[in-house]
A = this chain, B = another copy of it.
Amino acid sequence: MADILHRVGIKDSNPRAVYDALTTVDGLAAWWTRETTGSGETGRMLQFRFPPVGGFDMEVLRTLPGEQVTWKVVDGPDEWIGTTIDWKLRQDGDYTIVLFEHQGWKEPVEFMNHCSTKWAAYLLSLKSLVETGKGAPAPDDVQISDWH
């Protein structure tokens, strides 16, 4: 098993604001992909689409307001199915710290390298959204390679 880990700090914010960006369709659509549907509440499903290449269906496993959000991937690329995506939030001085883990990759395939870098770009989009009101969700996301 292998995990993707990231950490960003969002300045002059608070965990509740970041939590809202992770649990509402409007929030998610403003930093990850405009084509977000479903519900971010515990036990519900979220659908993220990245035309024309596909997307992910997530079951929301856990939502602790201002503290933690956990999703399980139930549909998408084979390498993603069954993995979990976990967000932990806390306040450290002026910063809301976001600890991100995409856990349970069966093997460290090249696609995992790609997804790791791409997650970093999306986390910076989340940071920008909360700090400035403007994120960079797909299809206006940062292109990192031939795999987008």
Contacts and interface: CB of A to CB of B under 8 A. Distances in A.
A94 B146 CA distance: 8
A144 B110 contact: no
Contact of A9 (B2, B121, B145): B145
Most buried by B among A5, A108, A110: A5
Given A2-B3, A5-B116, A146 B110 contact: no
Contacts of A123: 117
A64 interface: no
Interface of A: 2-9, 92-95, 97, 99-101, 108, 110, 112-114, 116-117, 120-121, 123-124, 127, 142, 144-147
Given A5-B112, A95-B146, 17 more contacts: A2-B5, A5-B108, A5-B113, A5-B116, A6-B116, A7-B110, A7-B113, A7-B144, A7-B145, A9-B145, A92-B146, A94-B146, A95-B145, A116-B116, A117-B120, A117-B124, A127-B144
